[in-house]
Amino acid sequence: MTAPDTRPTGLTDADKPFPWIGLFILAGAIFVCVTSEFLPTGLLPDLAKGLGVSESRIGLLVTFYAGTVVLSAPLLTAMTRRVPRKTLIVIVLCLFAITNLVVAIAPNYTVVVIARVVGGLAHGLFWSVVGAYAGYLVPKKQLGRAVAITSSGATAAFVLGVPLGTALGQALGWQLAFTAMAGLVAILTILVVIFLPPVRHVEELHTGEIRLPGRKDPSVFGVVVICAITATLMTGHYLFYTFIVPYYTAVAGFSTESVSALLFVYGGAGAIGLVLVGLVASRFPRASLAVSFAVASLAVLVIGLFPETTWLVIAAIVVWGIAFGGGPALLQTRMLQTASARVRDLASAWFTVSFNVGIGGGALIGGLIYDGFGLGVLPIIEAAVIAAAVVLIIVSDRVLHRRRVDAALRA
């Protein structure tokens, strides 16, 4: 049964109040989701020692998680298409709480792997729902602002969630860190039940209208293009970022003790970038996407060309963080603006898949390049891949604009 649309009727989009509470609740849900995903990376040595396995096998927990998302997200999204979105978020958050608790009490590595796979199933479904939720709460012209707010949850997870979870696990044991994570997810679940407004996500047919298969929706072509751009950008980013710590120490000459500060600087700069997205994305939706990634490409190129010039590398890290930090929100905004209401949830699922393909593929490609040519070439290659994606963004904008014009003329 579809949840009723509780928003006031008889109001124009300009008259409707901006749903601050609902969007911040979504941001909180995203915070616990992302922190749950990456917490094993911060506690990798502790998990390896506690479970009696190698660190490389603990690293595979992230691979299993991402692989499960890639394989399951579109199918689960299609299967749950008519389940009320708020209900689905509550179910998925409950699964996050349970899987974190199972990891905390797991007697061996196999049980942890199973818990992570279940968590991956929940993760893919979570993003397909939450990624589209803002599109049901606000009109298109406010999407940039709304997505910037919800995306702040992911930024907070990298800046605060994972570091604090890591510190807690190192001080008091990794089991307590995952137990605390389960408790935090449970609290967010209660807040979702109380404060998140339900939405009407199934578009009803008009009298005499025939339901078309999703693949025949006119917006599908644009969604596919955005997913291809996203996969390319994330592949370029993660082929270098995955190995950023050894690059800072072995190539750029920073001390091991200063690396955490550099990561915090990058994360803080990303938060600034996200704020800028909220200010400019709605006013300049097309230009902001290309410009932000073009600037990111140049910043990474500077890091690759001048790794031993400390002040220049630090400045480039700040620019890189600002430019790239708002990138995912810009991409998600573009996807929500492109996808019709009929395919919005499925488009969010494929968007999540494209992200995880880029994360896993970038890490794999970066590892191969690292082994074959060394760390020094990784930022140069990232800059080239992102620059190529910027060209794809510009060309695809023109193609999609022409398709919209042609469709309007035919109508």
- Residue 38 structure tokens: 């990456």
Residue 55 in this model has a pLDDT that exceeds 70: no
Residue 209 belongs to some domain of the structure: no
Residues 86-96 have a mean pLDDT of 92
- The predicted model gives 248-255 an average pLDDT of 86
Q: Do 296 and 320 contact (CB within 8 A), yes or no?
A: yes
Shared-domain flag, residues 111 and 193 = yes
What are 332-363's pLDDT values in tens digits?
878 877 887 777 777 877 888 888 888 778 87
Asked if the structure places residue 203 within a domain, the reply is no
Is residue 78's pLDDT more than 70?
A: yes
CA distance 336 to 132: 7
The answer to whether residue 141 scores a pLDDT higher than 80 is no
Residue 42: predicted pLDDT: 65
CATH at 372:
1.20.1250.20
Q: What's the chain's average pLDDT?
A: 81
- Listing DSSP states for 87-129 in one string gives HHHHHHHHHHHHHHHHHHH-SSHHHHHHHHHHHHHHHHHHHHH
Q: Are residues 269 and 358 in the same domain?
A: yes
User: What is each CA distance from 42 to 55, 59, 62, 409, in whole angstroms?
Assistant: 12, 10, 11, 54
Query: Do residue 179 and residue 232 come from a single domain?
Result: no
pLDDT (0 to 100) of residue 41 = 67
User: Is residue 188 a contact partner of residue 95, using CB atoms and an 8 Å limit?
Assistant: no
Give a yes or no: residue 7 inside a domain: no
What is the torsional sign of CA 253, 254, 256, 259?
negative
Range(s) of the domain holding residue 165: 18-198
Together in a domain, 194 and 220: no
Rama region for 253: left / alpha / beta (φ>0; ψ in -120 to 50; rest):
left
pTM of the prediction?
A: 0.73
In a domain, 233, yes or no: yes
Q: Could you give the angle at the alpha carbon of 240 between the alpha carbons of 234 and 243, nearest 5°?
A: 125
- Residues with Cβ < 8 Å from 166, sequence gap 6 or more? 39, 42, 43, 177
**Is residue 154 located within the same domain as residue 232?**
no
Task: Determine the average pLDDT of the residues in 45-50.
Answer: 80
Highest mean pLDDT among 31-40, 102-111, 276-285, 363-372: 102-111
User: Would residue 59 count as lying in a domain?
Assistant: yes
Domain co-membership, 222 together with 156: no
Residue 237 shares a structural domain with residue 329 = yes
Tell me what pLDDT residue 165 has: 79
Q: CA geometry: angle at 354 spanning 63 and 74, to 5°?
A: 90
Higher pLDDT, 323 or 204: 323
pLDDT for res 71: 84
Question: Do the domain assignments include residue 4?
Answer: no
For the segment 269-275, the average pLDDT, to the nearest whole number, is 83
For residue 7, report the phi and psi dihedrals to the nearest 5 degrees: -70, 150
Are residues 263 and 369 part of one domain?
Answer: yes
**Do the Cβ atoms of 153 and 89 come closer than 8 Å?**
no
Please say if the pLDDT value at position 310 is more than 80. Answer: yes
Share of the chain above pLDDT 90, in %: 27
Tell me: the pLDDT tens digits for 360-374?
Answer: 788 778 888 888 898
Q: Are 353 and 229 in contact (CB under 8 A)?
A: no
Contact assessment for residue 181 and residue 32, using Cβ atoms and an 8 Å cutoff: yes
Confidence tier at 203 by pLDDT (50, 70, 90): low
pLDDT at 90 over 50: yes
Collapse the DSSP code of 195 into the 3-class scheme (helix H, G, I; strand E, B; otherwise coil) and give the result: helix
| Separation CA 5–CA 138 (nearest Å) | 13
> What pLDDT band is residue 202 in, cutting at 50, 70 and 90?
low
- Minimum mean pLDDT among 81-90, 118-127, 195-204: which range? 195-204
Is there a domain that residue 207 lies in? Answer: no
Say if residue 14's pLDDT is above 60: no
Reply yes or no on whether the pLDDT at 236 is more than 50: yes
Whole-number pLDDT of residue 400? 77
Average pLDDT over residues 163-173: 78
Determine the Cα–Cα distance for residues 353 and 348; give it in Å rounded to an integer: 9
Structure tokens at 169: 């696990």
Mean pLDDT of 383-410: 84
Q: Which of 198, 229, 250 is the last residue of a domain?
A: 198
Give the three-class secondary structure for 283.
coil
Residues 193 and 220 in one domain: no
Among the listed ranges 75-79, 190-194, 224-228, which one has the minimum average pLDDT value?
A: 75-79
HSE-up of residue 139 (Cα within 13 Å, Cβ side): 9
- DSSP per position, 207-235: TT--PPPGGGSTTHHHHHHHHHHHHHHHH
What is the sign, positive or negative, of the torsion defined by CA atoms of 390, 394, 400, 403? negative
Please say if the pLDDT value at position 21 is more than 80.
yes
If asked whether residues 88 and 226 sit together in one domain, one would say: no
The DSSP-derived string for 349-385 is HHHHHHHHHHHHHHHHHHHHHHHHH-GGGHHHHHHHH
Supply the pLDDT for residue 327: 84
Residue in the block written with tokens 């690059």: 247
Residue 404 falls inside a structural domain: yes
Backbone angles phi, psi at 377, to 5 degrees: -90, -15
Residues 236 and 319 in one domain: yes
C-alpha radius of gyration, the chain, whole number: 21
Q: How many domains does the chain have?
A: 2
Q: Which of 145, 172, 198 is where one domain is finished?
A: 198
Give mean pLDDT, residues 143-170: 77
- How confident is the model at residue 56, as a pLDDT? 63
- Judged by average pLDDT, the poorest of 7-11, 68-72, 213-217, 228-232 is 7-11
Q: How confident is the model at residue 43 (pLDDT cuts 50, 70, 90)?
A: confident
Co-location of 91 and 34 in the same domain: yes
Mean pLDDT of 48-77: 79
